[in-house]
Homo-oligomer: A and B are copies of this chain.
Amino acid sequence: MEQPTTHQLAHWLKVLAEPRRLQILNLLMAGVQCNCELGTQLDMAPNLISHHLSVLRKAGLVEVERDAVDARWVYYAINRPNLEALNATFTAFFDPARIQPRQPNCGPQTACEPDDAVTTR
């Protein structure tokens, strides 16, 4: 019935449907990956940024990496394969070519139950 990609898409959409997470993703794509700079540009508390990044990381959309010189700093990056999978799943689900004309098995002429479609007007 429901292919697993639909569930994955629903989960991804729930993660993405947050303005601040969209802004974070937007900055990550633009090359801003330092946590503190994200905080200054978005005017958000660092713990809040950490929370949203955790949600994005658990969804597999971003990856985390610690600085080689000073491990206190962490850098976040877009997970490119999963982003491509997200894009493909979304475009496949919302493809306008999937739109089918109305199949009138319900309405004033037909019965509302799909079983007995034989009814006189």
Contacts and interface: CB of A to CB of B under 8 A. Distances in A.
A84 B73 CA distance: 41
A91 B87 contact: yes
B31 A9 contact: no
Contacts of A114: 37, 40
Interface of A: 6, 9-10, 13-14, 16-17, 19, 22, 26, 29-34, 36-37, 40-41, 67, 69-70, 72-73, 75, 77-78, 80, 83-84, 86-87, 90-91, 93-96, 98-109, 112-114, 117
Contact of A91 (B16, B69, B91): B91
B106 A36 contact: yes
A100 B72 CA distance: 23
